[in-house]
Structures are given as structure tokens and as C-alpha cells.
């Protein structure tokens, strides 16, 4: 059939231009998302930023997190998040601007080379409770009790 052969012959010419169009769209989309991206907290991977806190806004989770913070974090970061020695304050604008998932990621990963342990041994739920506690605190230092 001559009609069938014509369609078959035009096929290979159509396919490269479709690929060109698709790859152009993908490249433009890639540039747009790269431009829209905020710098990540502590170079957290992009996948961390989209991780949602299952306890966001929960007062009971924040209270549980407060206890866990006192047990695990206060000896370095201070009872009032004010920071002690090499451990920085955690009531800072940069911590407050960090996404929940980025804080969770940093707490889980740690940075042993500069003295921040990894908390991957704490159950996931407890790490999220600590994140909830940190997020429940005002970003500016409050008067010490
Ligand atoms: C042994 C001391 C120590 C303990 C315990 C500790 N940290 Fe840290 N933490 C550090 C040090 C030191 C740094 C700074 C590391 C760096 O900048 O690379 C840090 C950094 C951080 C940061 C990043 C702050 C910023 O502005 O970049 C967060 C968030 C944090 N710690 C949370 C926690 C939490 C939550 C706990 C408890 C589960 C905890 N840390 C326990 C020593 C400690």
C-alpha cells in the first residue's frame, strides 16, 4: 500500500523533532526550578525540604520534644537554646527559616567533624518531636528563667 509506506517514511523524520521539543521543555523546566530554589539549610538535599513534619503545630509533640531536647541536646546547645561553647544557638532566624524536613535531616545526619553528633539512633518520632519543639520557640532569645 502506498499510503501506508508514506506514513512509515514520515515517521523517522517526526520523531527527532518531537525529542528536540521535549528536551527543550525539560531544560527550560530545569532552569526554572533551579532559579526558584532557596538555598538549603546546611546543604540539606532537596528531598529533605519536602519531608513534612507529622506533628506540625502539635503542642503535645512540642512538649515531648522539649523533654527530649533537655535529655539529648541541652548539654551542648543550652537549656534555653542559647548555645554553649562550639554548639550554636538554635533560636536563630536561620534555624527558624529552615524547613522542618531540613532540620530533621540535619539532626539525623549530624556533622561529627565539627562536633554535632548524628541522632539517627533516636526513633524517628522522637526526632520529629524535637523538630516540633524547636519550631515552637520564638526566633529571638527570650529572657532566661
Ligand atoms: C556534643 C554536643 C552536641 C550535642 C549533644 C548536640 N549538638 Fe547540635 N550541634 C553541635 C555543634 C558543635 C554544632 C555546630 C556544627 C556545625 O556548625 O557544623 C551543632 C549544630 C546543630 C544544628 C545546626 C545549627 C545551625 O544554625 O547551623 C542543629 C539544628 C542542631 N545542632 C540540633 C541539635 C539537636 C536537636 C540536638 C539534640 C538531639 C543536638 N543538636 C545535640 C553540638 C551538639
Instruction: Sort 134 into a burial class: Cβ within 10 Å, 0-12 / 13-18 / 19+.
Output: buried
Mean pLDDT in residue range 53-80: 98
Residue 90 CB–ligand 1 contact under 6 Å: yes
Contact criterion met (CB below 8 Å) for 41 and 90: no
Cell, residue 127: 526526632
Contact criterion met (CB below 8 Å) for 126 and 52: no
Q: Which tops the pLDDT comparison, 38 or 28?
A: 28
pLDDT at 15: 74
Mean pLDDT in residue range 28-53: 85
Mean pLDDT in residue range 21-50: 84
Q: Which tops the pLDDT comparison, 78 or 138?
A: 78
Query: How many angstroms separate the CA atoms of 95 and 102, rounded?
Result: 10
Long-range contacts of 35-41 (CB under 8 A, 24+ apart): 40/102, 41/94, 41/95, 41/97, 41/98, 41/99, 41/102, 41/103, 41/106
Average pLDDT for the chain? 88
Contact criterion met (CB below 8 Å) for 91 and 138: yes
Residue 77 CB–ligand 1 contact under 6 Å: yes
Which ligand 1 atom lies nearest to the CA of residue 42? 27
CA of 58 to the centre of ligand 1 (A): 23
CA of 22 to the centre of ligand 1 (A): 45
Amino acid at each position: 500500500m502506498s499510503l501506508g509506506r508514506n506514513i512509515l517514511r514520515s515517521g523517522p523524520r517526526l520523531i527527532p523533532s518531537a525529542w528536540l521539543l521535549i528536551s527543550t521543555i525539560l531544560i527550560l523546566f530545569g532552569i526554572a526550578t533551579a532559579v526558584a530554589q532557596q538555598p538549603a539549610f546546611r546543604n540539606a538535599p532537596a528531598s529533605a525540604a519536602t519531608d513534612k513534619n507529622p506533628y506540625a503545630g502539635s503542642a503535645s509533640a512540642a512538649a515531648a520534644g522539649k523533654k527530649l531536647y533537655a535529655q539529648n541536646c541541652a548539654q551542648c546547645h543550652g537549656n534555653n537554646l542559647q548555645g554553649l561553647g562550639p554548639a550554636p544557638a538554635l533560636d536563630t532566624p536561620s534555624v527558624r527559616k529552615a524547613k522542618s524536613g531540613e532540620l530533621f535531616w540535619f539532626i539525623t545526619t549530624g556533622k561529627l567533624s565539627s562536633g554535632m553528633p548524628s541522632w539517627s539512633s533516636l526513633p524517628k518520632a522522637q526526632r520529629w518531636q524535637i523538630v516540633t519543639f524547636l519550631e515552637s520557640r520564638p526566633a529571638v532569645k527570650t529572657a532566661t528563667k
